[in-house]
Structure 1
Amino acid sequence: MNVMAKAEKKISSAFIYFFGSFGGILFGYDIGVMTGALPFLQADWHLENAASLVGWITSAVMFGAIFGGALAGQLSDKFGRRKMILMSAIVFMVFSVLSGVSPDMGEASAYYLIIVRMLLGLAVGAASALVPAYMSEMAPAKARGRLSGLNQTMIVSGMLLSYVVDFLLKDLPGEWAWRLMLGLAAVPALILFLGVLRLPESPRFLLRKGDEAQARKVLSYIRKNPAEIDQELASIKETAKEERQANQKTSWSTLFSGKYRYLVIAGVGVAAFQQFQGANAIFYYIPLIVQKATGQAASSNLMWPIVQGVILVVGSLVYMWIADKFNRRTLLMVGGAVMGLSFILPAVINWMMPNMNPMTIVVFLCIYVAFYSFTWAPLTWVLVGEIFPLTIRGRASGLASSFNWIGSWLVGLIFPIMTASMPQEAVFAIFGIICILGVLFVKTCVPETRGHTLEEIEEQGTNHGRVKASNPEN
């Protein structure tokens, strides 16, 4: 026992935070890897004119993630965050390999890959739910903002890693290229599994199971003094008690009662708009977008995803620098306005100057990605984490996450179908209008959360409900 205690004591807080957030790498890698694999897969399986199948293959992961996040949240309350992250890594490894060895059976191959990627999506959705939960339960309160930024940086780093892997493998024979791109996703999953084997369970889960001694030991790895540990243990106990009482008092109908409706609409709306604004259309399909704009083969345009990935990583670092210097609403409205114009202006320019340089649209897409990377990408989840009162937080956060995944899935599914039936500039103009609607939504429906306590934010919702009740015509 003493030997084991000494071995556990060697776990540094840096190791815990690094591997605690490493699941973001998996999430990001699988978002990005199909970007490079798809042109080779299309050519190998002759899917160039099968827009709906291409959409389903690309978006199947996000469809599975809708259910993976919900399942993981419930199972982690029973089995623990650590065990479920390990299980997610195993599922990710298995179905990444199965994606890479997809049999060549004509059109049936596409349906096989769709099903496998849906099952892979269970692990992606689980990682997206479990990693932030584990990190928030391990991190000290004063570091949670920076560590939420670390999770975002891990996600976009995973995307950049997948883009680099795609680029390095692009000169292999077509079949080998896409198979290795998809199959190599098992490598970061294996790294995550080996790293998490050494991680402790979260102290909050341990306390819920009545193991206060082990919870205290885990906190001793990541807190500096016994007084801080005692204070945090007491705080966790009190919060757990409040949550149990809240869960007993609430139902799904509670979310839409007068007191909470305003805050639920705000949080869920921001989560939905983040995806329906079309960011994933760029992340999934940028080589095909460049191909359609320039006529160059998509497989020769794999440098552009790397450019997007670098912009995303730099943007995530910019966010960590400015996060507490500007209001949430200000950043969302400025970011959304520039994103909307970046989508709309190419259509306007093309209408006024039909001989527009085809690369103009790609330049504007880079501007979109830059502003998305330090506004809507990270701030959506910061705001969702702050805006819901404790009484409804579990159900409301799950609802916001579900709408976000549904949006991600639909954008990935319908984008190739839309571009097959209308000009590319028109498709992006539609997303641009949605961006502008998102700005109006933030302006009229979302309260400011920066610098406000959770109680103050809840009071804003309560007061808004009273105003609506006294002015029903509004």
Structure 2
Amino acid sequence: MNVMAKAEKKISSAFIYFFGSFGGILFGYDIGVMTGALPFLQADWHLENAATLVGWITSAVMFGAIFGGALAGQLSDKFGRRKMILMSAIVFMVFSVLSGVSPDMGEASAYYLIIVRALLGLAVGAASALVPAYMSEMAPANARGRLSGLNQTMIVSGMLLSYIVDFLLKDLPGEWAWRLMLGLAAVPALILFLGVLRLPESPRFLINHGDEAGARQVLTYIRKDTSEIDQELKSIKETAAQESQANKKASWSTLFNGKYRYLVIAGVGVAAFQQFQGANAIFYYIPLIVEKATGQAAASNLMWPIIQGIILVAGSLVYMWIAEKFNRRTLLMLGGTVMGLSFILPAILNWIMPNMNPMTIVVFLCIYVAFYSFTWAPLTWVLVGEIFPLAIRGRASGLASSFNWIGSWLVGLVFPIMTASMSQEAVFAIFGVICILGVLFIKTRVPETRGHTLEEIEAQGTKHASK
């Protein structure tokens, strides 16, 4: 056994799972950090009446992530999950710093920041794709559900961390506050890089590249029962062979043939609805939402993102507790219904009572976030991971991820444009209608996956194709 192997042998499984999922912190931090930075940035660069530029600056990360996720998936199959997570951390560090040192050149500054944040988005998209893949390949089968919940908890914890950092920096001079908020994203990226340096490559990748001895070695220090390692190695090799055959036979047209169309539409539709329901409008713009509702300066409303972050973290823990106690469809329909009503009711109340307390809409937004946090936020990716048959899983999962990022980008882009031309209550009512449409989609187009084997789920697609 060489020195590297001895060093790796000492790594605890807790260390591996913690840093394996730590990429979620980066993902969450960059989703949340612009929430607090934006009011200061707007004031510093005089962008209060530049809704389109504000939308692009905010959403540029998601635009880059559309391509980062797809690119990382391809490259990680060639170079390994671990190396690509390290590369993502480096890209994240570099472009976080470049965001913080944006030159002040008038309108050209905004275009500079849009480009830099789009490149940063490559790392965000890569982390969102690589972390779940690495975790699923490292975790024992009976722990994958809980570790999926751990990844969601890491993401929302990253969001909460960014909200707290924003709050702590809010009393700095405006031109320094937003720069430090954006630049400090490099710190968790550095922590991730140093942690992942000590992590091993996943056994699945090693098997796919002919290194069975290396895969066995990794399994010896992440599995408590070493007597089952031979069986797990055999299972990994069989699955890898099946997927290799499936990938040779599958094409993009395969996704939409009669046998698979029902399941592809279901999985991609859920991923798209998760974003088009408007959650990220709250996460990106809550200080500006409160400012428009109350007239108080957005920079003085940075406690509200922290409240939203606490709700998100609490909801992710609730999900880990109830995940296997309720059907996926039941939770998604419950969550979508309450979310929709939380958006629609303020518009109705404002129409009935024009002098309604303006903070009412913020209370309803908190209710929305609470139900989103333990239903659509985690369950979308649980369902996407379960619903696609082996023969199309790679392409279908990539398509679902792309639609999710496109939805995230569009919501971030158009929300400030929409609120510049209509009332917030009307904008959220539109999102509320989309939530209700999402519930109808779940009820009519999405099969239940909890407790069903992949073969049983695939049989439902075949059944629908024959109708």
1:300 Cα deviation (Å)? 0.1
The SS at the match of 2:299 is: helix
Looking at structure 2, the residues matched to 2 and 388 of structure 1 have their Cα atoms a distance apart, in angstroms, of: 40
Looking at structure 1, the residues matched to 161 and 367 of structure 2 have their Cα atoms a distance apart, in angstroms, of: 21
Query: Aligned runs of 1:2-17 on 2, under 5 Å?
Result: 2-17=2-17
Looking at structure 1, the residues matched to 172 and 249 of structure 2 have their Cα atoms a distance apart, in angstroms, of: 59
Query: Aligned runs of 1:198-217 on 2, under 5 Å?
Result: 198-217=198-217
Looking at structure 2, the residues matched to 7 and 23 of structure 1 have their Cα atoms a distance apart, in angstroms, of: 23
TM-score normalised by L of structure 2: 0.99
1:260-307 Cα offsets, whole Å, 9 max, x none, are: 000000000000000000000000000000000000000000000000
1:259 Cα deviation (Å)? 0.4
1:224 Cα deviation (Å)? 1.9
The SS at the match of 1:447 is: coil
1:2 Cα deviation (Å)? 4.3
1:121-152 Cα offsets, whole Å, 9 max, x none, are: 00000000000000000000000000000000
Looking at structure 1, the residues matched to 4 and 423 of structure 2 have their Cα atoms a distance apart, in angstroms, of: 63
Query: Aligned runs of 1:41-440 on 2, under 5 Å?
Result: 41-440=41-440
Looking at structure 2, the residues matched to 404 and 73 of structure 1 have their Cα atoms a distance apart, in angstroms, of: 16
1:168 Cα deviation (Å)? 0.1
1:372-418 Cα offsets, whole Å, 9 max, x none, are: 00000000000000000000000000000000000000000000000
1:55-99 Cα offsets, whole Å, 9 max, x none, are: 000000000000000000000000000000000000000000000
1:19-73 Cα offsets, whole Å, 9 max, x none, are: 0000000000000000000000000000000000000000000000000000000
TM-score normalised by L of structure 1: 0.98
Looking at structure 2, the residues matched to 8 and 35 of structure 1 have their Cα atoms a distance apart, in angstroms, of: 39
1:3 Cα deviation (Å)? 3.7
Looking at structure 1, the residues matched to 276 and 3 of structure 2 have their Cα atoms a distance apart, in angstroms, of: 53
1:344-378 Cα offsets, whole Å, 9 max, x none, are: 00000000000000000000000000000000000
Looking at structure 2, the residues matched to 250 and 177 of structure 1 have their Cα atoms a distance apart, in angstroms, of: 50
The SS at the match of 1:223 is: coil
Looking at structure 1, the residues matched to 334 and 2 of structure 2 have their Cα atoms a distance apart, in angstroms, of: 56
1:5 Cα deviation (Å)? 2.8
1:112 Cα deviation (Å)? 0.1
The SS at the match of 2:199 is: coil
1:228 Cα deviation (Å)? 1.2
Looking at structure 1, the residues matched to 362 and 292 of structure 2 have their Cα atoms a distance apart, in angstroms, of: 11
1:236 Cα deviation (Å)? 0.5
1:185-244 Cα offsets, whole Å, 9 max, x none, are: 000000000000000000110111111111100000111233211111000000000001
1:250 Cα deviation (Å)? 1.0
Partner of 1:467: none
Looking at structure 2, the residues matched to 19 and 296 of structure 1 have their Cα atoms a distance apart, in angstroms, of: 40
Looking at structure 1, the residues matched to 399 and 58 of structure 2 have their Cα atoms a distance apart, in angstroms, of: 23
1:4 Cα deviation (Å)? 3.2
The SS at the match of 2:49 is: coil
The SS at the match of 2:221 is: helix
Looking at structure 1, the residues matched to 31 and 3 of structure 2 have their Cα atoms a distance apart, in angstroms, of: 41
1:408-429 Cα offsets, whole Å, 9 max, x none, are: 0000000000000000100000
Looking at structure 1, the residues matched to 209 and 247 of structure 2 have their Cα atoms a distance apart, in angstroms, of: 18
1:315 Cα deviation (Å)? 0.1
Looking at structure 1, the residues matched to 225 and 426 of structure 2 have their Cα atoms a distance apart, in angstroms, of: 59
Looking at structure 1, the residues matched to 388 and 54 of structure 2 have their Cα atoms a distance apart, in angstroms, of: 37
1:7 Cα deviation (Å)? 1.6
Looking at structure 1, the residues matched to 88 and 224 of structure 2 have their Cα atoms a distance apart, in angstroms, of: 31
Looking at structure 2, the residues matched to 277 and 439 of structure 1 have their Cα atoms a distance apart, in angstroms, of: 11
Looking at structure 2, the residues matched to 47 and 176 of structure 1 have their Cα atoms a distance apart, in angstroms, of: 17
Structure 2, gaps ≥5 residues long: none
1:443 Cα deviation (Å)? 0.2
Looking at structure 2, the residues matched to 5 and 412 of structure 1 have their Cα atoms a distance apart, in angstroms, of: 45
1:248 Cα deviation (Å)? 1.1
User: In the comparison of the two structures, how many residue pairs are matched?
Assistant: 466
Percent identity at matched positions? Answer: 91
Looking at structure 1, the residues matched to 314 and 302 of structure 2 have their Cα atoms a distance apart, in angstroms, of: 19
The SS at the match of 1:319 is: helix
Looking at structure 1, the residues matched to 437 and 3 of structure 2 have their Cα atoms a distance apart, in angstroms, of: 60
Looking at structure 2, the residues matched to 9 and 123 of structure 1 have their Cα atoms a distance apart, in angstroms, of: 29
Runs of 4+ residues over 3 Å off in structure 1 = 1-4
Looking at structure 2, the residues matched to 114 and 4 of structure 1 have their Cα atoms a distance apart, in angstroms, of: 42
1:432-468 Cα offsets, whole Å, 9 max, x none, are: 000000000000000000010111000011111xxxx
Looking at structure 2, the residues matched to 347 and 310 of structure 1 have their Cα atoms a distance apart, in angstroms, of: 26
Q: What is the alpha-carbon root mean square deviation over aligned residues?
A: 0.9
The SS at the match of 1:200 is: coil
Looking at structure 2, the residues matched to 226 and 114 of structure 1 have their Cα atoms a distance apart, in angstroms, of: 50
Looking at structure 2, the residues matched to 430 and 457 of structure 1 have their Cα atoms a distance apart, in angstroms, of: 33
Looking at structure 2, the residues matched to 309 and 191 of structure 1 have their Cα atoms a distance apart, in angstroms, of: 22
The SS at the match of 1:222 is: coil
Looking at structure 2, the residues matched to 382 and 10 of structure 1 have their Cα atoms a distance apart, in angstroms, of: 32
Looking at structure 2, the residues matched to 248 and 2 of structure 1 have their Cα atoms a distance apart, in angstroms, of: 37
1:173-195 Cα offsets, whole Å, 9 max, x none, are: 00100000000000000000000
